[in-house]
Chain A
Amino acid sequence: MGTLIVLLVLALFLTAIFTGGYNKDFLDRVKTSKVWDWLTTVDHKKIAILYFMSGFFFFIVGGIEALFMRLQLIVPHNDLFVGDTFNELLTMHGTTMIFLAAMPMIFGLMNAIVPLQIGARDVAFPFVNALGFWLFFAGGLLLNLSWIFGGAPDAGWTSYTSLALNEYSPGPGIDYYVLGLQISGIGTLIGGLNFLVTIINLRAPGMTYLRMPLFTWTSFVTSALILFAFPALTVALLLLMFDRLFGANFFDYTMGGSTVIWQHLFWIFGHPEVYIVILPAFGVMSEVISTFSKKRLFGYTSMVFATVLIGFLGFMVWVHHMFTVGLGPVSNSLFAVATMAIAVPTGIKVFNWLFTMWGGEIRFTTAMLFAVGFIPTFVMGGMTGVMLALPPADYQYQDSYFVVAHFHYVLVGGTVFGMFAGAYYWWPKMFGKLLDEKLGKFHFWTFLIGFHLTFFPQHFLGLFGMPRRVFTYQSGVGLETINLISTIGVFGMTIGTLAFIYNIYKTFKVEAQAPADPWNGRTLEWAIPSPPPEYNFAQLPRVRGLDPFWLEKQAGNKGMTPAEPLGSIHMPSPSYLPVLMSLGFFIAGFGFIARGNYAVGILGLIVVVITMFMRSFEQDHGYHIEPEEIEDANKGVQA
C-alpha cells in the first residue's frame, strides 16, 4: 500500500514537471498536453502506433533474451546462464515474442489499416479499442516486471503442469505468467471482437465481402480465431490460478487432477494462436505482392476460402503437439491426417502468390523483398511442418531442436517477415514519411542471411540428438560447429534489426512528406492523404469492385467517387477510463502475485469496478467535425 502511495505521488510530481508546475490551470494544461492526448486517444490510427511501439519494444526485449541464450550455447559446457536463469530466459523469450511482440504488432497493423481498407472512419467500438491496448500493455508490463520483482517464470512458454504448480515452481514467476497473460488476454479478446464487428458492420457502400482486400479478410478470420481460441487460454489460466493461489487441485494428480488437461487446454488455444499470428502476415504478403507486381491477386476467391479453411482446420489439430503423450494410435493418426490437410490450403496460397507475380512487373522495394524472401522461407517451414505431422517421425523430432527450427521458420519467416513487409509498405500511410529504401534493403539482407544461418543448422541439431530448452550440450558428439554457426547467425539478425531502428530514427528526421499513394496502390487506404486526417474519409467512398482505388485510377479518375454528400462527421471523444481501468487490473494482478496481501488485489479490482460504473453511466455523445473544417483542412493540404 505504501509503495502505491509513493508511486502515485511520484506520478503527480512528474506530471507537474512536464506541464509546468501546479496552479489554477494545472488540469487544463495536463489535458492539452501531448502525453494526455496519447493516453486518452480512441483514434484507431494512434492506437495502432501505440500497439506498434510497444510491440516493437517487446520484440527487442525478446530478441535480447534470445541473444543471451545463443551466447550461452555458443560452446559446450558454457556457464553464462545456467539452470533456472536459462529457463527464465527461454520462457520469457517465447512468451514475450508470441504474446507481447507478435500479437500487438498484428493488432497494430490491423488498427492502422483495416478501417482504411474497408472505408470506415474508425473501428466499431473506439473505447473498447483503447481499452484493449491498455489491457495488453498492463499485462505485458506486469509479466516483464517479474525480472525485477521475484524472478521470471521458468516453466516454458507452454508452462506445462505439474512443473508450473506451487510444489515445483514455488516462486512468484508462474503467478506473473498466469496473471500477466490473463490481463493481456482480455485485451486481445475484446480487440478481436471489435474487429469482427468493425469488418461486418462498417464496410463502405459497395464493399461486399468478396471485394474486401485480403489483409482485411485475414484480419477478419484472425479475429474469429481469437474469439474462439482465447477463451480456452482464459480457462486454462484460471484453473492454474486457482491451483496456485487458492490451493485447488485441477492439475495435481495426487489429488485426482490431471496434468494432461493443461496440455489439451493450452494447445486448443495454442494451435489456433499460431494461425492468429500468421494469417495477417499472409494478408500483408498478398497486398504487397499484388501491388509490386502491378497485378490483381491471382485466384482471389480461392485465397479467401483457403484462409477460412486454414482458420477452421486450425482448431482440429491441437493433438499434434502431444503425439508423445501416449493418447493412442487412433487419435494420433486422426490428428496426423487433419494436420497434413492444412498443407493443402497453404499450398494454394503459395501458388497463388507465385502466379500473381507471373506475368507481372515486379518492383523490388524493401516491402516486396520481405514478401519475396518470405516465400521460400515459409515453404521450408511448411515442409518440416508436414514432416512433423507424422506421429512416428514426430516421436524423434518432438521437443528437439528440429521443432525449434521448424517454428522459427514459420514464425520468423512468416510473421516477422510479414510485419517487416507491412511496416515498410504502410509506414508512409501511418506516419506520413517513407522509410529509407537503401537501409531497408540492408536490413532485409542481413536479417534474411542471419535468420537462415541461425535456424537452418538447428534442424540438424535436433536430428543429432539435442533436445530443446537445454542450457548446455555434450562436447565430442558433433554438436559444437552447428551451435557455433547458429549463434553467429543471430548477429546477422541483430544487425538487421539495428538497421531498422536507425532507419526509423532517420525517417523521423526527414522533412519530406510521403505522397498519398507512393506505391501505385490498389486499395482504399491509398486514396486518402498520408497520414490520413482523424476522420479518414471526408466522404465515404463508393466501392465498385476488388482493388477499388486501382479501378478508379484505371478509369481515369483522380480519387474515389463519394457515396455521400459532405456533411458533419460524428467522432468519439477521448477517454481516460481505459488507462485507469487497465491500471486497476495491473494493481490487482500485482496484489495477487504478492501472496498474502490480498488487500492490494481487491483495491485494484475496486478501481476496475468503479471505472466500469463510470463508463456505464457517463453521458458521452462524442463531438462533430463540420464540413467547413474539413474543407479548410483540405485546402491546407493542397497549399
Chain B
Amino acid sequence: MSRQRLWRALLVFSLAALALSGCSGDPSLNVLEPSGTAGEKQLNLIMWSFFLMLGVFAVVITIFVYVLIRFRKRKGQDRMPEQTHGSTLLEIVWTVIPIVLLGILAVPTVNYTFELADAKPDEDSIRVKVTGHQYWWEFEYPDLGVKTAQELYIPVGKKVHLEIHGKDVLHSFWVPALGGKTDVIPGRVNTMWLDAKKPGKYQGKCAELCGAGHALMDFVVYAKEPAEFDKWVAQMKQPAKVATAAQKEGEQLFLQNCMGCHAGVNPKLQGPDLSKFGTRTTIAGILPHTEENLKKWLKNPEAVKPGAKMPKIDYLTQEELDALTEYLMSRK
C-alpha cells in the first residue's frame, strides 16, 4: 500500500513541477507575473496565504502518512486498540492554532481590501468609462474626449480609474496581469483602479458567463509611455480622411449599411465605434487585424464569434466588399 501511496505523491509532485516549469503562463495574462500595482498586491496576498496553507497541509500530511504506515493492520495481527474518547488538550491546540493563523491572515486581507477599494480619481489619474456589451468592450475617456472599443490604451505609471457600466447582461472586467476583476452589472456603476508598471500588451477577458460568445469576449490593454500615450490621444482626436475613390465608395456603403448600429442611433443595437478602426490590432477582439479577416467577419460574424449581434453583410458584391474594407482600414 505504501508503495502505491508513494507513487501518487510522486505523480502529484511531478505534475506540480511540470505546471510550474514546463508550461508556465504567458506574461500577457499571468496572475503570477503581474505588471501592475494592484496585481502585485494581490499576488502578495496569494503567496502569503498559499505558504501559510502549505504549512498547515504539511502538518496534516505528515501525521496522515505516519498514521497510515504505523497503524495499518499487519498480517495475522489482531489486537484491540485502546478505545480513547479524545483529548481536551489536543482539541484546544487544533482549535486555537488555526484561529491564530487566520487572525494573522485577516490583517493584510482587510488592509488590502480597503486599499483596492479606494478608487477615487485624483488629479493625476486617467479616467475611463468602461461599458460591457454582448460581446465587446467600449472604452470612453471623458476627460480626453476619446471613444474606442476592444482596445484600452493607458499611460505607464499612472493610476487609471475605471468606471464600469453595464447595459445588457453581467460581464466581468479582468486583466489578469494587471489586477483582479470587477463585475459589469446592468443598472449599476462599479469602480476600480489599476496601473501598469511597464509598457506592453496585456490580455483582457470577460470572466462572467454572458452568453454564447462569452469565451471570445476578449480585449487588449496597451500600456504606453506617457509621451506615446499623448500621441495616441492626439491621433484619436484627428478625424480620418477619405482619400481614394474606393474609400469614397466604401464610405457610401458604410453610411448605407453600418451606421444604424455603429453610430449609436438605437441604443439597443449599439455596435463599437469604428471612426478609428484602422488603428486597431484585432478584428472583433480576437482575429489578427487583416483585410482578409475583416471580410471573413463581415460575411458571417457568427461563424467567428457565436452569438454575435451583428447581421451578416454577405449581400455585397466583391468590389463593394473590397471598397468597404479599404474604407474601414483607412480610418486611422
Contact = CB atoms under 8 A, between A and B. Distances in A.
Interface of A: 82-84, 86-87, 154-156, 160, 162-163, 168, 253-254, 258-260, 293-296, 298-302, 324-326, 328-329, 332-333, 336-337, 340-341, 343-344, 347-348, 350-352, 354-355, 357-364, 372, 375-376, 379-380, 383-384, 386-387, 390-396, 398-400, 445, 448-449, 452-453, 456-457, 460, 462-465, 467-474, 476-482, 485
A277 B71 CA distance: 31
17 contacts: A84-B306, A163-B170, A163-B209, A258-B187, A326-B188, A333-B109, A343-B98, A354-B63, A364-B73, A387-B50, A390-B105, A392-B116, A396-B181, A452-B11, A462-B31, A465-B31, A477-B26
Given A351-B94, A396-B46, A465-B29, A324 B306 contact: no
Given A258-B187, A295-B84, A336 B98 contact: no
Contact of A477 (B25, B106, B191, B206): B25
A111 to B, nearest CB: 30
B170 A259 contact: yes
Nearest to B110: A333
A295 B214 CA distance: 53
A360 B22 contact: no
B71 A390 contact: no
B102 to A, nearest CB: 5
Contact of B12 (A83, A302, A394, A456): A456
A481 B208 CA distance: 24
B172 A324 contact: yes
Interface stretch (B75-83, B242-250, B318-326): B75-83
B98 A354 contact: no
B261 interface: no
A83 B91 CA distance: 51
Judged by DSSP, the binding face of B is mixed
Interface stretch (B53-61, B140-148, B229-237, B293-301): B53-61
B67 A354 contact: yes
Q: Which 6 A-B pairs have the closest CB atoms?
A: A395-B180, A83-B306, A253-B187, A464-B25, A465-B29, A470-B215
B60 A87 contact: no
A163 B80 contact: no
B95 A344 contact: yes
Given A465-B203, A481-B22, A449 B11 contact: yes
Contact of A472 (B4, B179, B216, B307): B216
Contact of A396 (B1, B42, B213): B42
Nearest to A385: B53
Given A340-B102, A467-B174, A333 B83 contact: no
A399 B71 contact: no
A510 to B, nearest CB: 25
A448 B7 CA distance: 12
Contacts of B61: 376, 379
Contacts of A344: 95, 98-99, 102
B24 interface: yes
Nearest to B109: A390
Contact of B57 (A326, A379, A396, A398): A379
Contacts of B81: 293-295, 359-361
A84 to B, nearest CB: 5
A162 B307 contact: no
Interface in B220-261: none
A155 B209 contact: yes
Given A253-B186, A386-B49, A482 B23 contact: yes
Interface centre among A324, A362, A399, A445 (most CB of B within 10 A): A324
A386 B51 CA distance: 12
B316 interface: no
Given A87-B214, A162-B169, A393-B180, 15 more contacts: A254-B187, A260-B185, A298-B86, A300-B85, A326-B191, A340-B106, A341-B102, A347-B94, A363-B73, A376-B64, A399-B172, A467-B205, A472-B215, A480-B23, A481-B18
A151 to B, nearest CB: 12
A517 B94 CA distance: 35
A464 B109 CA distance: 22
B87 interface: yes
A259 B186 contact: yes
Contact of B113 (A258, A333, A384, A473): A333
A393 B176 contact: no
A329 B114 contact: yes
B6 interface: no
A254 B8 CA distance: 55
A455 to B, nearest CB: 11
A480 B22 CA distance: 11
Contact of B49 (A390, A469, A478): A390
B190 A482 contact: no
B187 A259 contact: yes
Contact of A457 (B15, B67, B73, B215): B15
B131 interface: no
B26 A478 contact: yes
B182 interface: yes
A363 B79 CA distance: 12
B50 to A, nearest CB: 6
B190 to A, nearest CB: 4
A299 B99 CA distance: 19
A625 B266 CA distance: 76
Contacts of B32: 463-464
A451 B72 CA distance: 25
A326 B168 contact: no
